[in-house]
Amino acid sequence: MRLFYSLYFVILCLFQDLFKIIFTFKKSANLQLISYMIKHVTSQIINYLSISCVVLFIFSCESDTNTAKDHLVFRYNEHKNIGSLDPAFSKDIADIWATNQLFNGLVQMDNNLKVIPCIAKNWTISEDAKTYNFSLRNDVYFHKHELFGKDSTRTVVATDVAYSLNRLLDKQIASPGSWILNKVDQFNVINDTTFQIKLKQPFPAFLVTNHEILLGCA
C-alpha cells in the first residue's frame, strides 16, 4: 500500500508539470520561457524517476526479506476462536486441532484412525491389559529455546511425559482434560526412554481415547 501511494504521488507530480508546459504554450509565445519550462520539467521528470527507482528498490528488498521469512510463518484457518494453545486446556475440537499442529504425543492416529507410534516408537501391554510400557524414541527434540542453555534444545525423555500428565492432575492448574486419566491408577518413569502407565482396570480403547491428551509431552 505504501508503494502504491508513493508511485501515485510521483505520477501526480509529473502530470502537474506537464500541465504547466501546456498552459505556458497557450498563454505565452516567449520561446525562452517555454525552453526554460521544458528544461525545468525534464529535470523534474528525471528527479521523479530517480525517486521512483529508489522507492521500488527499497520495497522490492523489503518484499524479498518478507518472502525469505515466509517459511517461518504458520497460517492456520479455523472457523472459531482458539481458546488456548496449552494442551492441558484443549477442551474442544478447535483447540485440539490447533495444539495438534504444535505438540506430539506418545502415539497418534493415522488417516484410517489407527493408533500408530509417535514419540513412543513401540509399546507393550501386559497380559492383564492393565500395564502399558512405552519405549521412547531418542531422536525427538524440543523446539529451540534459550531456557535449554547453550544447545537451545534437548531430547524428550520419560520425565517430560510424566510432567505433562502431572499437569493434567494438578488441582491448581485445573485442567478440563483431567477426567481422561480417571482410568489410570499410576504412571512411572522407568528410565529416560521407558514410560509406564498402569490402569485401574482393563480398558481396550485406552490408547484411542488418550492419544490427544498425551500430546502435551513435547
Highest mean predicted confidence (pLDDT) among 39-48, 166-175, 182-191: 182-191
pLDDT at 202 over 90: yes
Provide the domain limits for residue 111. Answer: 87-217
pLDDT band per the 50, 70, 90 thresholds, residue 135: very high
**Count of domains in the chain?**
2
In contact, 197 and 120? CB cutoff 8 Å: no
Site of grid cell 505438540? 103
Q: Which helix (H) or strand (E) holds 194?
A: strand 194-199
Cα separation, 110 vs 19, in Å, equals: 69
> pLDDT category, 3, cuts 50, 70, 90?
very low
* Residue 68 confidence (pLDDT) above 90: no
Q: How confident is the model at residue 187 (pLDDT cuts 50, 70, 90)?
A: very high
pLDDT surpassing 50 at residue 97: yes
- Verify that 21 and 95 share a domain, yes or no: no
For residue 23, being part of any structural domain is answered with yes
User: Quick check: pTM over 0.75?
Assistant: no
On whether both 53 and 120 belong to a single domain, the answer is no
* Domain end point (choices 13, 44, 72): 72
**142 and 205 housed in the same domain:** yes
The string of DSSP codes covering 56-109 is: HHHHHHHHHHHHHTGGG------SS----S-GGG--SHHHHHHHHTT---SEEE
